[in-house]
Amino acid sequence: MKNAGANTYNEINSQTVVWEQSLERISKVDFGSFPRGQDFNQIIFTGCGSTYYLSLWAARATQLRTGWVCLAVPSSELFLCPEAWLVPSRKNLIVAISRSGSTTETIKALKMCNQRGCDASIVVTCYPDSELAGLSNAVVALPHAQEKSIAQTRSFTSMMLGVSHITSNSYPETLPQRLSEQLSFIVQRDRDTASTYGKDDKISRFFFLGSGSRYGLACEAMLKMKEMSLSYAEAYHFLEFRHGPMSMVNENSLVIGLMSPELNPLEFNVLQDMKGLGSQVMAIGPVEFEKNFKELDHFIPIDFDDFAMLGEVLYLPILQLLAFERALANGHDPDNPHNLTSVVVLEA
């Protein structure tokens, strides 16, 4: 395949630049007119596929940071059965996330919420002129994060930055540059790691584990691996993995832990157990805990600095590269995933 994955490769690597552009653009959005989380009883983050996983991340990260009650609901579930999620007597804020802004299910979900008297909505998208954006008067638009690839990479992380800014649009002036520098550093250091594990033909099963907001990121890493490379890939809440799903772990597995910033030892114990079952084990976590990870197969340290919620974007690029490398090793074109299109449009 000539130039297989050229777009995806470019888009993954461009994040060092695109994140700065995203933050610069977001900082110019007039947040004065935005609905404020504290004015609502419940915030529902919604999307489909990658943006549902982004919602899972956003709901937990936002509730942890602000104390506001947050849910993540797939767009389809929201419009198929709104009574199972919405409470009419409470004030609901909907945050609808869609790369294209034209995903039928998310449009239907937002229309349904509007009809049922939801009190406000915010749309996060890469297409400011899309139908979805038109359904809401508060839009976080990230047009320079648009992608040619079907699998979302830089759009996903840029929309994470966009969602972070719903809770706060102030950060130190130097933060965008520092975040980009940290990503450049990680990619330069660990690009070969992604390549080595991506090409390792002993590995045929990938498991991604994360607690709290990192569960959503584990799901996204799982989906990237699946979409690009058609590999066996699963994601679980960290400690849930021992309650049955680990039955699938064998010597052909790679288990990747997205560790808590506070390094909970119970997460580490799960990884040790999986190593005991013959799996290869990798962890991504705070640089200051590097010494704890000597006994695992590989550790990717991240310097979270004081990026707060924004810093969680740093977990993803090496996992995107891992999926990319595995796709090439499997003979698939990462730019053109099997069976998929970039937007799911339902017939009327």
Retrieve residue 238's tokens. Answer: 């960290």
Other beta carbons within 10 angstroms of residue 71's beta carbon come to 17
- What is the rounded CA–CA span in Å between residue 17 and residue 179? 10
228, 226, 220, 227: which is closest to 206 by C-alpha?
226
**Is 260 one of the binding residues for its own copies (CB under 8 A)?**
yes
- Indicate which single residue of 50, 92, 102, 320 sits in contact with its own copies (rule: CB under 8 A): 50
**Beta-strand pair 205-210/120-125:** unpaired
- What is the rounded CA–CA span in Å between residue 42 and residue 60? 13
Question: How far lies 39's CA from each of 43, 63, 91, in Å?
Answer: 10, 14, 8
Q: How far is the CB of 328 from its own copies (least distance, A)?
A: 16
- Indicate which single residue of 234, 297, 303, 305 sits in contact with its own copies (rule: CB under 8 A): 234
Question: How far lies 277's CA from each of 206, 220, 244, 255, 256, in Å?
Answer: 14, 25, 14, 11, 14
**Is 1 one of the binding residues for its own copies (CB under 8 A)?**
no
Q: How far is the CB of 179 from its own copies (least distance, A)?
A: 23
**Is 226 one of the binding residues for its own copies (CB under 8 A)?**
yes
**Is 154 one of the binding residues for its own copies (CB under 8 A)?**
no
**Is 245 one of the binding residues for its own copies (CB under 8 A)?**
yes
Q: Residues 36, 8: contact at Cβ < 8 Å?
A: no
- What is the rounded CA–CA span in Å between residue 104 and residue 107? 5
Q: What is the DSSP string of 319-348?
A: HHHHHHHHHHHTT--TTS-TT--SS-----
**Is 330 one of the binding residues for its own copies (CB under 8 A)?**
no
**Is 25 one of the binding residues for its own copies (CB under 8 A)?**
no
Retrieve residue 169's tokens. Answer: 């649009």
Cα end-to-end distance, the chain, whole Å:
37
In the range 279-318, which residues lie near its own copies by CB under 8 A?
A: none
Q: How far is the CB of 341 from its own copies (least distance, A)?
A: 9
- Indicate which single residue of 227, 312, 325, 333 sits in contact with its own copies (rule: CB under 8 A): 227
**Is 49 one of the binding residues for its own copies (CB under 8 A)?**
yes
Q: How far is the CB of 204 from its own copies (least distance, A)?
A: 11
Q: How far is the CB of 250 from its own copies (least distance, A)?
A: 9
**Is 337 one of the binding residues for its own copies (CB under 8 A)?**
yes
* Residue-wise burial string across 125-155, b where 16 or more C-beta atoms lie within 10 A, e elsewhere: bbbeebbbbebbebbbbbebbbbebbbbbbb
Q: How far is the CB of 103 from its own copies (least distance, A)?
A: 8
Give the interface segment with its own copies, choosing from 244-252, 290-298, 303-311, 318-326 (CB under 8 A): 244-252
Closer residue to its own copies (CB): 76 or 157: 76
Question: How far lies 347's CA from each of 107, 338, 344, in Å?
Answer: 13, 21, 10
Judged by CB under 8 A, the number of residues near its own copies is 57
- Indicate which single residue of 131, 200, 240, 297 sits in contact with its own copies (rule: CB under 8 A): 240
Q: How far is the CB of 140 from its own copies (least distance, A)?
A: 21
27, 147, 62, 138: which is closest to 99 by C-alpha?
147
Give the interface segment with its own copies, choosing from 17-25, 70-78, 176-184, 291-299 (CB under 8 A): 70-78
Q: Residues 61, 74: contact at Cβ < 8 Å?
A: no
Q: How far is the CB of 231 from its own copies (least distance, A)?
A: 9
Q: By CB under 8 A, name the binding residues for its own copies.
A: 42, 48-50, 52, 60, 63-64, 67, 69, 71, 74, 76-77, 80-81, 83-85, 87, 90, 105, 151, 211-213, 215, 223, 226-227, 230, 232, 234, 237-240, 242-249, 260, 264, 266, 269, 277, 337-340, 344, 346-347
